[in-house]
Amino acid sequence: MPEKKNEVIHAALLGAGTVGGGLYRLVKKMKKEIPHRIGCELDIKKVLVRDASKPRKGIDESVLTDNWDEILNDKDIQIVIELMGGTSLAKAHIIDALNAGKHVVTANKDLLAQHGEEIFAAARENNCDIQFEAAVAGAIPIIRPLMQNMAGDNITEIMGIVNGTTNYILTMMTEEKMSYSEALKIAQEKGYAESDPASDVEGLDAARKLAIMAQLIYHTNVTFEDVYKEGITAIMPDDIRYTGELGYVIKLVGITKLTEGKVEARVHPIMLKKDHPLASVRKSFNAIFVKGEAMDEAMFMGRGAGSMPTASAVLGDVLDVMRNIRMGCCGRVQVENYRDIPVKPIDETKNNYFIRMKVEDRPGVLAEIANVLGDNKVGIANVSQKDTRDGVADLLFIIEEVKESHMVEACCAMRGLDCVYSIANVIRVY
Amino acid sequence: MPEKKNEVIHAALLGAGTVGGGLYRLVKKMKKEIPHRIGCELDIKKVLVRDASKPRKGIDESVLTDNWDEILNDKDIQIVIELMGGTSLAKAHIIDALNAGKHVVTANKDLLAQHGEEIFAAARENNCDIQFEAAVAGAIPIIRPLMQNMAGDNITEIMGIVNGTTNYILTMMTEEKMSYSEALKIAQEKGYAESDPASDVEGLDAARKLAIMAQLIYHTNVTFEDVYKEGITAIMPDDIRYTGELGYVIKLVGITKLTEGKVEARVHPIMLKKDHPLASVRKSFNAIFVKGEAMDEAMFMGRGAGSMPTASAVLGDVLDVMRNIRMGCCGRVQVENYRDIPVKPIDETKNNYFIRMKVEDRPGVLAEIANVLGDNKVGIANVSQKDTRDGVADLLFIIEEVKESHMVEACCAMRGLDCVYSIANVIRVY
């Protein structure tokens, strides 16, 4: 075993934004500690930025470059740390780097959720490491546990709160009784939400992370496009209040499981019993709940975003690559989709549902609606009437497990009834 | 990179008890899946048992042996999976195996908490893998996250519920208002507690796991003997009730942190605010709460014991060793204590405290007691009087952070007061 003490491994950092800047600071801070832990030093030799003439606080000017080729052609640089984001330039650089035999650490969920298979294949072909712990749920260790700790088990289901913005908004709506728009505004003020919040609140960000996890545990290609996405913009204070009274909290989750030989992969609001471990995950925290045949249940909670938490996950990966370089075993853990499992359309999934509807307040209405539900093979687990006012009542149903297509048809049919003024919301129940 | 497809790696299993039997079944079940994930097959060639003539359900008779040398001298066997438990024979076999160049996977917390440094040194000297994910908190991925994911961060504190038996007992005492002995009886009936429960209820089991974790994060030798241990046998229903009224739950935790250049390592009951993530970890579940400078906070929850959950963690390790064997990089991750940090005696630690005492019910008593506390530099955060009956009152204090030695002296002095009938309990508060 070659023991090359005090050797230096050089890396290049692509991007000096929030996470890139955080990583640079963290590497500086841990400089003396790293050789003790890994057996060699880490040097960030180059930092790729759009404008190299613009000074970056805390980053030595001499390492800044806006020329990718300077990094690609530098034989000293063995690791490329991609924190620039985006899917076109980042993809090109990563593929370039792998083809040049450089190892890659990335936090780019957009890229992996869209082009994961191509990137993983390039890593395999070049016997290179591609590590991406920070791409899913920031500082929470989940990629390594799924790929290594749980490699001897069959993971049957993952349910995760993997978007801090929406979890913060839902927490404010629940605990502070805010409306969606009030909560969004606070989230934006606190820096938890972007000025254009669509990617978070529409569930797109969560869908990217879910696609990556689904691929890892089912060993089949699952992309962002395959994931059903439904955000939180339709959640009203009445939904929060009524579901709370029924003993539930509403969370935006990503769920993937294997049913009837197909992969379910979906992001949508869900009602969780208050004693479910995910129910108590508050504010901007993320958490991932995993079920396995042998391991039973586990949950991982932590910071899903933020400069330093994300940087800590990235640096963990970089150090792991350094171990592999020293031991000559890069490419030790690879992603390989050795299965080809179809993704199940949301219509074919089975769920319990909560329905909140505005109906005419007179005897016989419940019977009419119950008949329509029954005709569509939809069973009622629980029904209650609330807030009758001016001849209008709120009618709440909890529906027994049923195929989503039946539920959709039943809603269509109910909307056709004169006594039904509106179906205010339908939320899936865990 | 040598790609030896469909190669077989042979292992020996030591022990065919609860976990050993579970592992054997799990390997059988995952037989066809493993080559897809790791690139080669796993074969359990030998199983070491005390009496090889006694048939074991589900285990092929031909693999049973009671002769260790048969395993040690078998050049085919590259991995030894030690699930026999105990610290003498298990230690000898593990050292033998490592010296013979065999890699070791073990779930033996007793052994590692006592002789970890010696065993890790033997692994390093022989460039062998020693993996022990299942030794701490069963199926919860914690060793790999601490050693790899968090290698780029400084972990400042770990607080863990790492004993399912005591967590189950405390949950029953809290939720079902049972006494300690009632809850213990139920735990024994359900198989969560041994007929001699001392190792669990005295905090010894938790102390072993804590010693292992402290060693990994502070890179200094911390053994079972170094850990302060206080169990749950003194927790009374009154403690549960009163602390509940104050907004706390009582949990048995292991805590390790660095303060004033020393390692704190201690297992004792603690009062946690009800909204702390560990507070909602119920029944026999384990959970570990980790704080790091960059990563902020994370929590890991899952099954800390049980045949199949523990086996899943063991098999994850075995598969990781197989990856290393294939890639020629065994010994890739080693435990090395490159620091020498003293352990802080419990007397020197600082804590908040809850005191429950029986006092004479007359005016002036509180002033007398408050004077004694003040004389001993102990500040009062909160005081309340409860359940006055027959001239005796329950007096409850929450004490501001103070050095434990001052608290001990203050308790001594209070016991000397005529108005103090007894100090019923003192519990540390987080």
Of the partner residues B34, B152, B312, the one whose CB lies closest to the CB of residue A295: B312
* Chain B residues 37-96 with CB within 8 Å of chain A: 37-38
Kindly report the CATH class assigned to A348-429: alpha beta
DSSP per-residue letters across B74-132: -TTEEEEEE-S--SSHHHHHHHHHHHTT-EEEE--HHHHHHHHHHHHHHHHHTT--EE-
pLDDT tens, B323-354? 999 999 999 999 999 999 999 999 999 999 99
Residue B232, pLDDT > 90, answer yes
Chain A residues in contact with B139 (beta carbon < 8 A): 292, 294-296, 298
CA distances from B177 to A40, B181, B184, B193, B378 (A): 56, 12, 13, 19, 32
The domain made up of A143-302 is a member of CATH 3.30.360.10 = yes
Mean pLDDT of chain A: 96
Chain B residues in contact with A133 (beta carbon < 8 A): 149
The band of A387, judged by pLDDT with boundaries at 50, 70 and 90, is confident
Q: What is the pLDDT of residue A359?
A: 97
* Chain B residues 386-415 with CB within 8 Å of chain A: none
Average pLDDT over residues A12-28: 97
SS3 category, A210: helix
Residue A77, pLDDT > 70, answer yes
SS3 category, A414: helix
pLDDT tens, B111-141? 999 999 999 999 999 999 999 999 999 999 9
Residue B5, pLDDT > 70, answer no
Q: What is the pLDDT of residue B45?
A: 98
Query: What's the pTM value of the predicted model, to 2 decimals?
Result: 0.96
- Is the Cβ pair A141, B154 closer than 8 Å? no
The band of A6, judged by pLDDT with boundaries at 50, 70 and 90, is low
Chain A residues in contact with B303 (beta carbon < 8 A): 295-298
- Specify whether the CB–CB gap between A216 and A135 falls below 8 A: no
Q: What is the pLDDT of residue B297?
A: 97
Chain A residues in contact with B277 (beta carbon < 8 A): 280, 301
Q: What is the pLDDT of residue A4?
A: 46
Average pLDDT over residues A222-243: 98
**Could you give the CA distance from residue B338 to residue A37 in angstroms, rounded to a whole number?**
9
Domain with CATH 3.30.70.260 in chain B: 347-429
Mean pLDDT of chain B: 96
Q: What is the pLDDT of residue A161?
A: 98
pLDDT tens, B35-88? 999 999 999 999 999 999 999 999 999 999 999 999 999 999 999 999 999 999
DSSP per-residue letters across B383-412: EEEEEEETTEEEEEEEEEEEEHHHHHHHHH
CA distance, residue B181 to nearest chain A CA (Å) = 26
Of the partner residues A144, A296, A323, the one whose CB lies closest to the CB of residue B332: A323
The domain made up of B347-429 is a member of CATH 3.30.70.260 = yes
Chain A residues in contact with B334 (beta carbon < 8 A): none
Chain B residues in contact with A329 (beta carbon < 8 A): 324, 327-329, 332
Q: A164, exposed or middle or buried, with CB in 10 Å at 0-12, 13-18, 19+?
A: buried
The band of B2, judged by pLDDT with boundaries at 50, 70 and 90, is very low
The domain made up of B7-138+307-327 is a member of CATH 3.40.50.720 = yes
- Specify whether the CB–CB gap between B291 and B157 falls below 8 A: yes
Buried b (16+ CB within 10 A) or exposed e, A182-195: ebbeebbeeebbee
ipTM of the complex: 0.96
- Specify whether the CB–CB gap between B224 and B207 falls below 8 A: yes
Average pLDDT over residues A83-89: 97
Of the partner residues B294, B299, B311, the one whose CB lies closest to the CB of residue A311: B294
Residue B400, pLDDT > 80, answer yes
Helix axes B89-99, B109-125, angle to 10 degrees: 20
The band of A69, judged by pLDDT with boundaries at 50, 70 and 90, is very high
* First CA to last CA distance, chain B: 51
Chain A residues in contact with B144 (beta carbon < 8 A): 141, 144-145, 148-149
Residue A157, pLDDT > 80, answer yes
SS3 category, B22: helix
Q: What is the pLDDT of residue A343?
A: 98
Marked catalytic residue, from A46, A91, A102, A209 = A209
- Is the Cβ pair A153, B38 closer than 8 Å? no
CA distance, residue B217 to nearest chain A CA (Å) = 11
- Say whether residue B175 is in contact with chain A using an 8 A CB cutoff: no
Residue corresponding to tokens 């020629």: B328
A247 token code pair: 């003993």
> DSSP state, B246?
T
Q: What is the pLDDT of residue A1?
A: 41
Of the partner residues A34, A36, A312, the one whose CB lies closest to the CB of residue B294: A312
- Is the Cβ pair A298, B140 closer than 8 Å? yes
Count of all residues that appear for chain A in the document: 430
DSSP per-residue letters across A296-321: EEEEEEEE-S-HHHHHHHHHHHHHHH
- Specify whether the CB–CB gap between A114 and A87 falls below 8 A: yes
Q: What is the pLDDT of residue B187?
A: 96
Domain with CATH 3.30.360.10 in chain A: 143-302
Q: Please write down the long-range contacts of B146-150, taking CB distance under 8 Å and 24 or more positions apart.
A: B146/B213, B146/B216, B146/B217, B146/B290, B147/B216, B147/B333, B147/B335, B148/A144, B148/A316, B148/A319, B148/A320, B148/B333, B149/A133, B149/A141, B149/A144, B149/A313, B149/A316, B150/A141, B150/A312, B150/A316, B150/B217, B150/B290, B150/B292, B150/B295
Residue B394, pLDDT > 50, answer yes
Read off the amino acid at residue A193: A
Is residue A370 within a helix (H) or strand (E), and if so which, with residue range?
helix A365-375
**Could you give the CA distance from residue B123 to residue B331 in angstroms, rounded to a whole number?**
7
- Is the Cβ pair A152, B319 closer than 8 Å? yes
Closest CA to B320 of B141, B179, B68: B141
Residue B318, pLDDT > 50, answer yes
Percent of chain A with pLDDT over 70: 99
- Is the Cβ pair B153, A26 closer than 8 Å? yes
- Is the Cβ pair B26, A153 closer than 8 Å? yes
- Is the Cβ pair A315, B152 closer than 8 Å? yes
Residue B4, pLDDT > 80, answer no
pLDDT tens, A132-141? 999 999 999 9
- Is the Cβ pair A308, B294 closer than 8 Å? yes
Is residue A11 within a helix (H) or strand (E), and if so which, with residue range?
strand A7-14
Of the partner residues B154, B309, B332, the one whose CB lies closest to the CB of residue A295: B309
Of B94 and A388, the one with more pLDDT: B94
- Is the Cβ pair B153, A315 closer than 8 Å? yes
Chain A residues in contact with B25 (beta carbon < 8 A): none
* Chain B residues 9-28 with CB within 8 Å of chain A: 22, 26
Q: What is the pLDDT of residue B387?
A: 79
Query: Domain B154-303 sits in which CATH superfamily?
Result: Dihydrodipicolinate Reductase; domain 2 (3.30.360.10)
Q: What is the pLDDT of residue B364?
A: 94
Give phi and psi for A185, each to the nearest 5. Answer: -60, -45
Marked catalytic residue, from B91, B102, B209, B229 = B209
Average pLDDT over residues B401-407: 98
CA distances from B419 to A42, B186, B359, B366, B414 (A): 65, 39, 6, 9, 9
- Is the Cβ pair A1, B277 closer than 8 Å? no
Domain with CATH 3.40.50.720 in chain B: 7-138+307-327
Percent of chain B with pLDDT over 70: 99
CA distance, residue A230 to nearest chain B CA (Å) = 27
CA distance, residue A376 to nearest chain B CA (Å) = 40
pLDDT tens, A194-231? 999 999 999 999 999 999 999 999 999 999 999 999 99
B377 is an active site residue = no
The band of B388, judged by pLDDT with boundaries at 50, 70 and 90, is confident
CA distance, residue A215 to nearest chain B CA (Å) = 13
B368 token code pair: 């007398």
Count Cα neighbours of A14 within 13 Å in the Cβ-side half-sphere: 27
